Amino acid sequence: MESKLNTSSVITEKIYPESAVVSTEKLSFSTKVSYGLGDFSSQLFWTFSGTYLTIFYTDVVGFTPAVVAMIMLFARILDGVKDPVIGMIADRTKSRHGRFRPYILYGTPLLALFSVLTFTVPSFGGNMEAKIAWAIITYIGLGVLYTVVNLPYGSLAAVMSKDPSERTALSSFRMFSSNLGTILLSTISMPLIIFFSSGTGEKVTARGYTMTAFILAAIAIPLFYLVFIKCKEVVQPVHTGKISIKQSISAIIMSKSLVCIFLILLLSLTAFFGRIGVQIYYYLYVIKRMDLISLLMPLPAIGAAIGIVLFTRLAKTFGKKKMLYFAYTGSAIALGFLYFIDYSNLPLLFIGTFVFGLMQYSTPIVIAMVPDAIDEIECQKGIRLDGTAYAATSISTKFASALGGAGTVALLGYFGYVANAEQTAEAIHGINIVVNIAPAVLYLLAIIPVMMYSLTDEKTKAIRDELDQKQVLK
């Protein structure tokens, strides 16, 4: 038995020679940190746009909420096509750098460029149709390039180690760093926007957003390159022959585990992104304290970072599903609390916001389920689809971002929000509903697919053992 384990621990890599390492080797702390910094960098692109693009479009460019909703929904519909395509291309990529790392190497500079262009507003002689066309092109370009870089980055977690605990650790480092990126964004973004606008805070300008996007992109590029350098691909497919597109799509759609993960992420992240996209309206027009934005906006991310450290490890003891039940129920209760408190009660506002953030430890647990589902598909179907599987989760994230952003901004219009104006009592109440009650309902709905997920730790281990045996016999 001992000799069999030793034999199966070594991967003889024929396609990617730089990836040939011992598969059971524990990943170094620096490797885990480097991997996590990839999502830190992602926040400087995607979360910045998710947080500020809506108000940039409405209050700076001058688009109506309906136009903003249209742009975001159109981009997300396109995601339903491009994400699987990019995932399948990545699965079939063969290079000396592996299947996924080349996309980080070559795609990152272009992603940085489009991040800046998205927050740039050419005058076009005041032609609003031209501005809308520019917004569609740059925002779609940003989405495509984000997928080109971030989807392969996410796929790395499934191929850097076979050890489930190491995969969970990678997911935890990723989400911890993600929240650090969100904290940085929440802390410095608005001060930078104000500084590059006029410095007084009386009026923000397009230049303020453009320069801020440029600085964030300059920080993100070297961090993504650190991921490329440190994070090697270890796990290679058992099946090395050609895989048809039909096989790929069929395997993904028929995977109950992956479908459950898709729905969990769709519902929970629609709640999360929807709230992120409109929380600034809540602070500006309901709380009416611009001076507190730099304190309140990073608070959920601070809570999430602490929650990941405190609660993620408990998944081994209590199981992933129970920890997700607790997280989503806790999120809904915290948001309900924020809805009912007096707007002027700042201590309760800070407490409720922090507790809501604390419950966001759930995301790394869900992400850690994805490699397990990938292994299950490979065991059942004989094909490994890391990129395509992560494309499915990427689509759920993008759809969540779109539904959250477009849905909440449409609700703002429904409740009578008017940009740069004193809001009516109905509009203020509506903003409170959109920011707190709507996401609370979605968190409770996310519990349903969690209940349907049936891939246990015992099943996962048995699947991994079977795949290791096939790798030895190949």
Give the C-alpha distances (Å, rounded to integers) separating 345 from 298, 352, 435: 19, 11, 17
Contacts of 235 (CB under 8 A, 6+ apart): 11, 23, 158, 159, 160, 161, 162
The pLDDT, as a whole number, for residue 240 is: 56
Eight-class DSSP state of 304: H
- Residue with token string 């790929």: 248
Q: Is the pLDDT of residue 373 over 60?
A: yes
Q: Which of 308, 336, 369, 343 is nearest to 442 (CA)?
A: 336
Average pLDDT over residues 355-368: 89
Q: Could you report the per-residue pLDDT of 1-16, keeping only the tens digit for each? A: 333 333 333 333 333 3
Least confident of 53-67, 126-140, 427-441, 452-466: 452-466
Burial of 244 (0-12, 13-18, 19+ CB in 10 A): exposed
The pLDDT, as a whole number, for residue 84 is: 83
Average pLDDT over residues 378-399: 79
Q: Is the pLDDT of residue 293 over 80?
A: no
The pLDDT, as a whole number, for residue 6 is: 37
Q: Is the pLDDT of residue 361 over 80?
A: yes
Alpha-carbon Rg for the chain, nearest whole angstrom, is 22
CATH superfamily of 28-231+244-469: MFS general substrate transporter like domains (1.20.1250.20)
Count the alpha carbons within 13 Å of 380 in the hemisphere toward its beta carbon: 18
Q: Is the pLDDT of residue 441 over 90?
A: yes
Average pLDDT over residues 190-195: 89
Least confident of 85-94, 122-131, 395-404: 395-404
Backbone angles phi, psi at 10, to 5 degrees: -110, 130
Residue 202: band (very low, low, confident or very high) from pLDDT cuts 50, 70, 90? low
Q: Is the pLDDT of residue 283 over 80?
A: yes
Rank 35-39, 291-295, 424-428, 454-458 by mean pLDDT and report only the highest.
35-39
Contacts of 69 (CB under 8 A, 6+ apart): 405, 406, 407, 409, 410
Average pLDDT over residues 311-339: 90
Amino acid (1-letter code) at residue 246 = K
The pLDDT, as a whole number, for residue 58 is: 87
Average pLDDT over residues 408-434: 79
Q: Which of 387, 357, 398 is nearest to 178 (CA)?
A: 357
Q: Is the pLDDT of residue 87 over 80?
A: yes
Average pLDDT over residues 312-338: 90
The pLDDT, as a whole number, for residue 364 is: 84
Least confident of 44-48, 216-220, 467-471: 467-471
